[in-house]
Structure 1
Amino acid sequence: MVDAQYAPMEMRAVDAIPEGPAWQYEPKWDGFRALVHRDGDRVAITSKNGQPLARYFPEVVAALAALGADGFSLDGELVVPVAGAFSFDTLQQRIHPAASRVQMLARKTPALYLVFDLLREEGADRVGEPLERRREALERFMHANAEEHGTLRLSPATRDRAVVDRWFAEVGGALDGVIAKRLGVPYASGRRDAAVKIKKQRTADCVVGGFCYAAGSTDRVGSLMLGLYDDAGLLDYIGFCSSFSTAERRALLERLLPHAGGSGFTGGAPGDAPSRWSRDPERDRSYVALAPELVLEVGFDQVTGGRIRHGTRPLRWRTDKAPRSCTVDQLETAGAVLSLIR
């Protein structure tokens, strides 16, 4: 059975958290979705698209193999805690061809498996059972088998909408969002009709420290380079913004060019930290430095290593905002995300 694959239940993105007695709420974690299967001594971990992951997470395999139960399938999320939050960059480093490096990272930054559904137990499928019965069975399973194994954690769930607000108040931006699952329905393998996901949008007022031209062009902007001031008063690069229409890209030049020739980033600059952008030797890293006079409010989802992981969404220009007031504390999280799973 360990080689058989359940198609993971999908989730449809929506803008607002649904309310009412028909829903169960769970935190949306910033990690790798993964299904695990064990039969006897055989353990498999597979990604959302069915790729094997076990070789990259030996500490999780060991924890699964140590459980008293020897026949089960679970749905959950692989995460790596770093400094009280989950680091997606550190998690990605695990996907490495060298077994020695994987073993070193497993010791240095061990992963956790956060379990939120029970699909099979002692050979009996539970996918046809309604969510509330699966959740009750999962809690019994974790209580009986996994309480002494810190690598495996039960992901919290609630039917109380007010608890979701407390989650965000407790850990702030360290939480990636919320999953809402319909009660009374079976596990919807491969479908999106039983659960929705709501990403938590965060905002920050950022200084535009420079811009890049669109590829092969000098008449339109490709992306804006964003910065925030650190405790030493230096302007650190924290991400980029490129979600503009063609017309907006041309109009942006009129706003930006009068500020060209400034100091740009005086602290961390684009390319200083390892990223796909900085590792590509063929990619043009040049940008037009600007005087730190323009402030743009942007929306974003996640921060890793002091930088916004994905491109931001422009919201509005803040002509009322002093650039020096745009500081890195806007990226701080409210608390340690691990507090939700203890």
Structure 2
Amino acid sequence: MDLPVRPPVLPMLAKSVPAVPDSTDYSFEPKWDGFRAIVFRDGDEIELASRNTKPLTRYFPELVEALRAALPQRCVVDGEIVVARDGRLEFEVLQERIHPAASRIKLLAEQTPASFVAFDLLALDDVSYLDEPFARRRAALERALTTGDAVHLCTTTADPVVARDWFTRFEGAGLDGVVAKPLTAPYSPNQRTMLKIKHARTADVVLAGYRPHKTSTPQKPLLGSLLLGLYDGDQLQHVGVAASFTAKRRAELIEELAPLEVPLEEHPWGRWAEFLTANPDRVPGTQSRWSQGKDLSFVPLRPERVLEVGYDHMEGRRFRHTAQFKRWRPDRDPESCGYDQLEEPVSYDLRDVLGG
């Protein structure tokens, strides 16, 4: 490709802050929950590169055609690939597109077509925009992009009051929070020059088991992640995992939790041992298309201990990301830890976000 900015390019990143800054020095926009992608176009040639510069083009054939219609002949654009269903983003559905079979990709492209949300411009024609301030990059992007059903221009605001409103309302459409971009900053690949504000919540969950760490050995056992559950009526459902412990703490937890170990057939999740393939709840001990050959077995524990974890938001009936261990809750009864404690986001139609 003969472009002023050529692949590979690592995208500009964001650092977490606790709240939307009360400043007009930023451009605020929704934080999309999809695949970050930089699009390179040189005539009919289009390449989609992931956050870690891996090729995504073959997985989204319908986007290639849409981008040809929407983008200038020669450009580099930063954005997000998303899949929407029933008025909200569906990351799980998006993940299904990373599949080795071309026939499967073609089918999914027809059944659950992806969209591209453009939010930054890195190059246009023979000009690199990397050193231009974001305000100029955004203005040039607005002039250059032709939007359509599958290609959208990310909505923005310079008003922090509006951004705080988006932070609350847009979550119901499956969005992840808000991003703040300094209006005068250049595009700095792989640098955390932007700000991101994500939802932070806590929940009391039941400890139901653990998986050994990938470096665990019989001589030096180490805990990898805690398996978490919530009660739905009298059924203990798998809701996610908590990880990120120090090496010392991983060893201590193995000893601390040993008295709770039980045979799988005596555990509430024992019935899941019969499953051999992935299932909608992604329960422990099952295989998935992402983990062929990977050992997903777990050590069952009597569901007697409760812990408080931090999480950002839910995806269906599970935590979207790995939860953060906060503290043990010896004052809580495991049976009292249900889904009713979780905060429900305001319902919001994604079409309203894209049309803003």
Q: Distance in 1 between matches of 2:46 and 2:96?
A: 22
Aligned to 1:280: 293
Q: Distance in 2 between matches of 1:102 and 1:115?
A: 23
Aligned to 1:227: 229
Aligned to 1:289: 301
CA contact (8 A) 1:175 1:337 kept: no
For this pair of structures, how many residues does the alignment match? 333
- The two structures have a TM-score, normalised by structure 2, of 0.79
* Cα distance change, pair 123–246 in 1 and its aligned pair in 2 (3 A): closer
Tell me if 1:341 matches 2:348.
no
Tell me if 1:116 matches 2:119.
yes
Equivalence map 1:3-18=2 (5 Å):
5=6, 7-17=9-19, 18=21
Equivalence map 1:184-223=2 (5 Å):
184-188=184-188, 190-192=189-191, 194-212=193-211, 215-217=216-218, 221-223=223-225
Aligned to 1:244: 245
* Cα distance change, pair 235–118 in 1 and its aligned pair in 2 (3 A): same
CA contact (8 A) 2:285 2:296 kept: no
- The two structures have a TM-score, normalised by structure 1, of 0.82
How far residue 275 of structure 1 moved from its aligned partner, in angstroms, is: 6.3
Q: Structure 1: where are the runs of 5+ without partners?
A: none
* Cα distance change, pair 246–70 in 1 and its aligned pair in 2 (3 A): closer
Equivalence map 1:1-342=2 (5 Å):
1=1, 5=6, 7-17=9-19, 18-67=21-70, 69-142=72-145, 145-146=146-147, 149-172=148-171, 174-188=174-188, 190-192=189-191, 194-212=193-211, 215-217=216-218, 221-230=223-232, 232-249=233-250, 251-252=252-253, 256-257=257-258, 259-261=260-262, 263-265=267-269, 269-272=283-286, 274=288, 276=290, 279-280=292-293, 283=295, 285-290=297-302, 292-301=303-312, 303-328=314-339, 330=342, 333-336=345-348, 338=350, 339-342=352-355
SS of the counterpart of 1:335? coil
* Cα distance change, pair 19–123 in 1 and its aligned pair in 2 (3 A): same
Residues 276-327 of structure 1: per-residue CA shift (max 9 Å, x gap): 45x436x26142231x332211113454453335432101223343433322
How far residue 197 of structure 1 moved from its aligned partner, in angstroms, is: 3.3
* Cα distance change, pair 54–331 in 1 and its aligned pair in 2 (3 A): farther
RMSD, aligned α-carbons: 3.2
SS of the counterpart of 2:330? coil
SS of the counterpart of 2:163? helix
Identical columns (%): 39
Residues 25-83 of structure 1: per-residue CA shift (max 9 Å, x gap): 22222222212233433322222343332221111111112237433331101112245
How far residue 239 of structure 1 moved from its aligned partner, in angstroms, is: 1.5
Q: Structure 2: where are the runs of 5+ without partners?
A: 273-280
Residues 84-113 of structure 1: per-residue CA shift (max 9 Å, x gap): 443333323322232211111111111110
Residues 234-263 of structure 1: per-residue CA shift (max 9 Å, x gap): 111122223333443455467645554464
Q: Distance in 1 between matches of 2:151 and 2:120?
A: 13
CA contact (8 A) 1:167 1:340 kept: no
Q: Distance in 2 between matches of 1:334 and 1:43?
A: 38
Q: Distance in 2 between matches of 1:331 and 1:2?
A: 50
